[in-house]
Structure 1
Amino acid sequence: MEAESKKEFWSWGKSLIVAVLVAFIVRQFLFTPVIVSGESMEPTYHDKNRVVISKISTLEHFDKIVFHAPNADEDFIKRVIGLPGDTIVMENDVLSINGKTYKETYLNSNKAALPEGQKLTQDFEVKVPEGQLFVMGDNRANSMDSRIFGSIEEDSVVGKVKFRFYPFDEIGNPK
């Protein structure tokens, strides 16, 4: 009986070790949970929201990403506005990337809250250097982003936001 108990214990032990190893590999190299901190992405994400990021996704315009902040010892969550080589122009709250105009519908509620005639985003023009990204928060009036600290290195990206899993009544991937 004792030999059988040892055999079962060893079987459970191996299974537990494999499970921990798989979880470590997935979290380290593929997906990881992140807690949103701050108001810079409101109304898309709020403080204390919990999201899952993919560490192996390719980035496109308007993707939400988590990256190591260039001016702080923390990670930020922002939206990719400019990819390497892009020319970004913001004029009268209208975004143009490489001469093409885009509607930023995710900003509609923030724009609606502004007093008549006030702009959400100040005018600017920037060329994104190779190997870098231009990022901005959705809460443009309260976001420390590339307008302040400049473009970020592509290597500083931790991952692309794929899914919000908390709060439970907002589960999914907001636009």
Structure 2
Amino acid sequence: MSALVPVACGAVALALLSALAVLRRRFVAVTVSGRSMEPTLRHGDRVLVRRAGIAAVRAGELAVMAAPAGMGRDWMVKRVVAVPGDPVPHDEIPALARTRDRLVPDGRLVVVGDNLPLSLDSRGFGYVHARQLLGVVVRHLPRSPSRQPAGR
């Protein structure tokens, strides 16, 4: 019986490591940089992102996507305002005002920041391509003590 204990412990450890690896591929923590999503998210906030394809994204959700080249960061968090098949918001999104698309094409999203004056988003660069999408925000994570703003 005692010979089975190390084997059982090893099997449990292997199962935990496997589960952790699966979760790591499915979820990722992202730290917010900048003020474009205020007041919803503030600089230094952390969010948990579920890796997802474009078919899993819904209008109104927060999504994380690769930033356009030259932005000085890898990822950006924005609110999805239109998904494939939705009407193109020509009047609200200047970069899409001249497109003849009536509906958002397959494989594309329209996104904006909650803090419009400070947000670089679809208003400036147009559609976000499916290949840029990391996933959708599923939870706002607590700040680590070292990231707490002064006076809080």
Check conservation: 1:38, 1:47, Cα contact below 8 A.
yes
1:85-100 to 2 correspondences below 5 Å: 85=85, 86-90=87-91
Give distance in 2, aligned partners of 1:82 and 1:43. 21
CA shift at 1:7, angstroms? 4.5
Give distance in 2, aligned partners of 1:164 and 1:79. 14
CA shift at 1:22, angstroms? 0.5
The corresponding residue for 2:74 is 74
Does 2:35 correspond to 1:39?
A: yes
Unpaired runs of 5+ in structure 2? Answer: 145-152
The amino acid across from 2:78 in the alignment is K
> Could you tell me which of 48, 53, 72 is aligned with 1:52?
48
Check conservation: 1:70, 1:152, Cα contact below 8 A.
no
Q: Which structure shows the bigger proportion of residues in strand conformation? A: 1
Q: CA RMSD in A?
A: 2.8
CA shift at 1:69, angstroms? 1.7
**Percent of aligned pairs with the same amino acid:** 28
Q: Secondary structure of 2:34's match?
A: coil
CA shift at 1:124, angstroms? 7.1
CA shift at 1:38, angstroms? 1.5
1:17-166 to 2 correspondences below 5 Å: 17-29=14-26, 31-56=27-52, 58-71=56-69, 72=71, 74-85=74-85, 86-90=87-91, 125=97, 127=101, 128-166=104-142
Check conservation: 2:95, 2:123, Cα contact below 8 A.
no
Unpaired runs of 5+ in structure 1? Answer: 96-120, 169-175
CA shift at 1:137, angstroms? 0.6
Q: Secondary structure of 2:23's match?
A: helix
The amino acid across from 2:58 in the alignment is E
CA shift at 1:133, angstroms? 0.7
Q: Secondary structure of 2:42's match?
A: coil
TM-superposition CA deviations, 1:10-65 (whole Å, max 9, x none): 43232122111111112203x33222222110111011112122224721212110
Give distance in 2, aligned partners of 1:165 and 1:122. 33
How many residues get paired? Answer: 135
Deviant stretches of 4+, over 4 Å: 121-124
